[in-house]
Structure 1
């Protein structure tokens, strides 16, 4: 009897595993930390008295949200002392994520960068309310605050995000076309085409985490950013000669991106922000090897809410 009950518990948990990871990843911006939070949620779920649980989905979301919030608070100092710009850990996403425009936006590099400017509590509340549609009452229980306090936090977080997120973006087809042209121009050293694709005030953010050589400050301006990428085919990077470097299009965080690899390892990812005309307004380059494990694993995830 206990074996059948245990299998049923596992089945219920597995039904909500994608949701739990999707919540934790958006709150934490880290695949490894999100996976740890989901695993800890399973341990708590399997140990709790589930006979008293009326709504497993809400119950599990509360557990993983609380765990993610605790983990985010514990890692805040690490992020404040991070070497160079901090960018979220990139993740390969499935076509389902990209086809859901709201879902893709909520997991985009641009959105996760904005969420990083919120307090841990604001971030958790925003994700649960705006992305996953939980009620203020459900969120209050999840983050152990009063419903009135959660309403205030939710309002403040939403205003903060709306003020900082990109307001206009090109349609998905246009984004993919620009990304393909960018990749061809970068690998071909075509600086003129790169200049055409970049907004005049484009900003390049590079995250090496102090582990590999990257720009420690944002690189601004179309000429400078175009020159940076036009050199890809002429310079040795992390011991990889230009002839051994591979660049491939991939869906990263719900949108088109590029994965650079060579000598059997992934060395960087690039994702973009676009304006309404399809010009690239920001480039996010993650090269910290500690953040490339999920990309190297090659498994695309469905992160739709």
Structure 2
């Protein structure tokens, strides 16, 4: 092996890796480039060691690889600055980048749930088959409304928080397989559509929307985001960008998935508090719905503002 020719061929990559390793702050593209270069230079080091173990070059590449690994591992210990960067850049940017995916999921979910509600409400025999005669409709309504006040509010909020976070985690983790995400979405759409349709069949539509809207807007948006990002991970495996290998594409999408998973924990905590304390509250419906709408719009505004600002700072367009 011609060591000089090999070093001349890859010297530019080695210098670039050293430059990225020394930088205090990296954009999203630069972080991805750092990972790719780290993998390449580690391969170069292995080649040099096995074919032409020049001690000077081996020492140089070893130092580069170790420094890059330390840069990727990051600093240990808790940092409020890191928390601030997560909520001002990391999480909103990951959600903002994936907006075509979770918006499409949301539209599809609403259409499916709306059709199921329309079908159930328009076919009284379907509602009767599910709950029986008119007398059962009152019991069904009582169970639906009573569900939100059956348990003490603090324990109910915790239960909802963990339940919704678990659904989101399953959507993200199973995204690489695609089909399980659609199954989870179908289960939720079926539950909402049939419940709403049964109540609508007995002229209880106002009860349905007054109870589900305060928390449902934020809660379902979190599910849509998780499902959309999960499907984005699956698509990265199916059709990776031309400039990335399949593994690199999945790794990049997976890193966004981790950021989204952590950020959604907070979103579902807020949604759980609204469902436990606001949804069953003995206040006018307009106030309860208004609180839910404000929380939902606040989340969308947060993602749009901070996500767009972070995308502009990194000069990276939104990618589907």
Q: TM-score range by the shorter chain?
A: under 0.3
After TM superposition, the score normalised by the length of structure 1 is 0.27
More helix by share: 2
Q: Which has the higher contact order (CA 8 A, sep 6+)?
A: 2
Which protein has the larger Cα radius of gyration, Structure 1 or Structure 2?
2
After TM superposition, the score normalised by the length of structure 2 is 0.26
